Structure 1
């Protein structure tokens, strides 16, 4: 039943030889890996206006120069990450760049920030998409969290089906969104040029505004830069591209940057010219669409595609998080299970963990996009800064042909990213302070995981250990609770290993039970030694383990190995287990952590 449901949800297993078929072409990669960046057009411009409105609506004209600053940063990041793609064609992005050029800890900071950011990508994208839906249908507002969780489960399931299949399905909404916004921007500009939009709706560029300050403008710039989150995803996911992967990734990155620049600047311009004021419950894109088309088919088409891309932007996280987790796992900073491919050749453990953590985050923040975006943005600008700085160090150290121009590009990107990061901490400290707490904790945990793996490797390495002492024979201890087929089955197995060194152990709670069992045993198995351990306190574990310790000490003097064979019957139906006391499981769990004792379970399967 479970297997049938799994096959229905994620499809048939794929052979390892089919891995090449799971690579993405540029068209699908642009949709999947750019959806995060493109979707931020739906809330990036709004974040600028949210800051400017604190002065007055007259300050909205500043959104135009601020948007130009964001586009300059976008250009610097696109050029920088294009260089990273060719310099590090195997992927890893900011984590690999920072680790190799700045050191292990800067690499951990960059990589950890990105891992957390991809979790936030899913949470922010889905909650923002839910907001777009509830903007069109206000009666659904109170169900935001449930709706968001349902979408996370859906995208997680789609991602488990494999990169290619999910890309084939999810690409359509992304391109529909791009088409919808191009239509919106085109019609909006046409209405402006033909005089259908009153010039009185906005203040003219350059109008003096009381209360404006450089600090506030930088704060608005930092908020607007949240539209650039997701730019780095392509550099992390180079292995997902068809060959030649670096060339295809670089072309996709440029295409993404071009689309993002056009859509972002278009929405900012329309919001300014229409005099749009951000209000709770109705997004800026929704207001622009309503003023441009009214509440007709085109309005709902734009809202529908916006909601879809915001939700599906989470797929960028599902594409990049598992791959980044693989790099961490290979460097022994997180569990090795993240390097294992699932039935559909994707890194399913990373996908499932990402989905679960995103749901927890949505619940913790009650589905409030505005509370998640500052954390989301600062989480990506930290690795932006570190990756650009790492590339600066790389060019200065290696000095390849044309390194001066590359150095200027990365230096510009590093400085602007640093300014944006600092502005987030200065202006939104009450919202982003968790980064300063959780990031060190995550890095410490990663460090401890690596120390554990190094310790395990050192202990398992033959060259570092003394040769094992040869085992002369086995002393087998067989705990028994009665004379049954289960015990008989285990006893036969024990005799096959060491017929003359078997000790059956019975733990009675009453003296009369002890005498009666001894009599039955000697009639049934006179050649097998029986030891009874009376337990007045009704404990099986304590007297049994004390006896095992005693035997083990004596056996160790003769280089004999103590093996405890535990009989266990297996019910035909799983739920039958709750009807039995599971003593064998408790004994096994207790003995597994005792040194120099081998624990073996001999199952006896019931037929009905």
Structure 2
């Protein structure tokens, strides 16, 4: 039943040789890896207006120069990540760049920040998409959390079906969104140029604003820079592209940058000229669409495509998170389960864990985008700063041809990214303080996992010297609960291991019962030694483990191996297990932690 449901949801398993068919073209790569960055224009300009709104609508003209600053940062980031793609064609992005040039800890900070950021990508995107839906249908406002969780589950299942399949589905909403916003921006600018938009809706450029400070402008710039989240995703996912992967990834990155610049500047311009003010109930894009087209088909088309891309922008996280996890797992900083491919050749463990973590975040923050975005943006700009700084070190150290221009580009990107990150830390500290707690903890956990793998490797490595331990034979201990077919089956197996070194152990709670059992045993198995242990406190485990420890100590002195053979019957139906005491399972679990003791379970399958 479970297997059938899995096949319906995920599809048939793919052969390892079909991996090449799961690679992305530039068109699909743009859809699946740029959806996060492109979708952020739906809330990035709004974040600028929210900060400026504290000074009144007269301050909205500052959104234009602030947007120009954001575009300068975008240009620096696109040029820088294009260089990263060619310098590190196997992917990994900020983690690999930082680790290679700034040291392991810098790499782990970047990698840990990005892992958290991709979880936030899913939570923020889905929450923002839900906001777009509830803006159009206010009656749904009370169900934001439930709607968001349903969408996360849907996208998780979609990604478990494979990269190509998810990209095929996502391409349509992404390009529909771009098309819809081009129509919105084109129509809005046409109305502005033809004088259809009253000039009194907005303050004139250069209008004095009471209380304006450099701090507020930097704060608005930092908030608007949240529209640049997701820019790094392509550099993390280079292996997902068809060959030549670096070249295709670089072209896709440039296309994304151009589209993002046009859409972001267009929305900021329309918001200024139409005098749009941020509202808790209605998004800025929704207000612009209503102002340009009215509440007609085009309005709902724009809202629908915006909601779709905001929700499906979460797919950027699903594409980049598993690949970043693979790089960390290869370096033994996170569990190796992230290296395993699923039935559809995707890294399904990373996909499932990402989905579960995102749902948890949505529940904790109640799908409120405003509370998630600052933490989300910081999680991006810390790796941005580290990766830019890492590339600066690389160029200065290697000095390839034309390195000075590359160094300048990365220096500009590193400086602006650092300013943005610091502004978030200063102005949004109540919302971003968790990063000061979680990132050090994550880095510490990374190191502990690496230390564990190194310790295991040292202990499992076959050494050239001869072992001082040799096994002369087996001492087999068989815990018995009665005279049954299950016990008989286990004794037959034990005789095959060591016919002359078998000890059956029976734990009794009553002296009379103990005598009766000994008499029955002598008649049933006279050739096998029986040891009876009396338990005053009605515990089977304690006296049995003490006895095994005693035998193990004596056996090791004579170079004998102690093997415990546990009889266990397996019910025909799974739910029947709750009707039995599972003592065999408890014994096996406890003995697993005993050194130099081998545990063997002899199952006996019941037929009814």
- TM-score normalised by the chain length of structure 2: 0.99
Range with greater deviation from structure 2 (425-434 or 223-232): 425-434
The match for 1:488 is 488
CA RMSD of aligned residues (A): 0.8
The match for 2:326 is 326
**Per-residue Cα deviation, 1:218-245 (whole angstroms, up to 9, x for no partner):** 0000000000000000000000000000
**Per-residue Cα deviation, 1:88-126 (whole angstroms, up to 9, x for no partner):** 000000000000000000111111110100000000000
Rounded to whole Å, the distance in 1 between the matches of 2:15 and 2:489 is 40
The match for 1:472 is 472
Rounded to whole Å, the distance in 2 between the matches of 1:590 and 1:575 is 24
The match for 1:602 is 602
Rounded to whole Å, the distance in 2 between the matches of 1:465 and 1:446 is 33
Does 2:45 align with 1:49? no
Whether the 8 Å contact between 1:459 and 1:465 is mirrored in structure 2 is: no
**Per-residue Cα deviation, 1:299-339 (whole angstroms, up to 9, x for no partner):** 11100110000000000000000000001101111000000
The match for 1:89 is 89
Aligned length: 608
Does 2:309 align with 1:309? yes
Cα displacement (A) at 1:464: 8.0
| SS of match in other structure, 1:503 | strand
Rounded to whole Å, the distance in 2 between the matches of 1:216 and 1:542 is 68
Deviating above 6 A after TM superposition, structure 1's stretches of 4 or more consecutive aligned residues are none
Rounded to whole Å, the distance in 1 between the matches of 2:385 and 2:548 is 60
| SS of match in other structure, 1:462 | coil
Does 2:274 align with 1:280? no
Cα displacement (A) at 1:460: 1.1
The match for 1:460 is 460
Does 2:450 align with 1:450? yes
Rounded to whole Å, the distance in 2 between the matches of 1:465 and 1:436 is 48
Cα displacement (A) at 1:468: 5.0
Cα displacement (A) at 1:496: 1.0
Q: How does 1:281-430 map to 2 (within 5 A)?
A: 281-430=281-430
**Per-residue Cα deviation, 1:355-397 (whole angstroms, up to 9, x for no partner):** 0000000101111100000000011000000000000000000
Q: How does 1:101-112 map to 2 (within 5 A)?
A: 101-112=101-112
Rounded to whole Å, the distance in 1 between the matches of 2:488 and 2:301 is 72
The match for 1:30 is 30
The match for 1:432 is 432
Q: How does 1:501-516 map to 2 (within 5 A)?
A: 501-516=501-516
| SS of match in other structure, 2:531 | strand
Q: How does 1:554-565 map to 2 (within 5 A)?
A: 554-565=554-565
Rounded to whole Å, the distance in 2 between the matches of 1:284 and 1:177 is 16
Cα displacement (A) at 1:147: 0.5
Rounded to whole Å, the distance in 1 between the matches of 2:284 and 2:463 is 66
The match for 2:7 is 7
Rounded to whole Å, the distance in 2 between the matches of 1:536 and 1:69 is 79
The match for 2:243 is 243
Does 2:233 align with 1:224? no
Cα displacement (A) at 1:459: 1.1
| SS of match in other structure, 1:188 | helix
**Per-residue Cα deviation, 1:536-582 (whole angstroms, up to 9, x for no partner):** 21110111111111111111111000000000000011010000000
Rounded to whole Å, the distance in 2 between the matches of 1:85 and 1:540 is 62
Whether the 8 Å contact between 1:14 and 1:344 is mirrored in structure 2 is: yes
Does 2:144 align with 1:144? yes
Rounded to whole Å, the distance in 2 between the matches of 1:97 and 1:466 is 43
Rounded to whole Å, the distance in 2 between the matches of 1:268 and 1:584 is 68
Structure 2, unpaired ranges of 5+ = none
Cα displacement (A) at 1:514: 0.6
Rounded to whole Å, the distance in 2 between the matches of 1:339 and 1:315 is 20
Does 2:258 align with 1:254? no
Rounded to whole Å, the distance in 2 between the matches of 1:466 and 1:330 is 31
Rounded to whole Å, the distance in 2 between the matches of 1:104 and 1:604 is 52
Rounded to whole Å, the distance in 2 between the matches of 1:366 and 1:468 is 61
Rounded to whole Å, the distance in 2 between the matches of 1:554 and 1:533 is 18
Whether the 8 Å contact between 1:458 and 1:464 is mirrored in structure 2 is: no
Rounded to whole Å, the distance in 2 between the matches of 1:598 and 1:580 is 25
The match for 2:170 is 170
| SS of match in other structure, 2:535 | coil
Structure 1, unpaired ranges of 5+ = none
| SS of match in other structure, 1:423 | helix
Rounded to whole Å, the distance in 1 between the matches of 2:88 and 2:220 is 33
Q: 1:239 to 1:582 in 2, by over 3 A?
A: same
Cα displacement (A) at 1:171: 1.1
| SS of match in other structure, 2:601 | strand
Cα displacement (A) at 1:463: 2.3
Cα displacement (A) at 1:465: 7.5
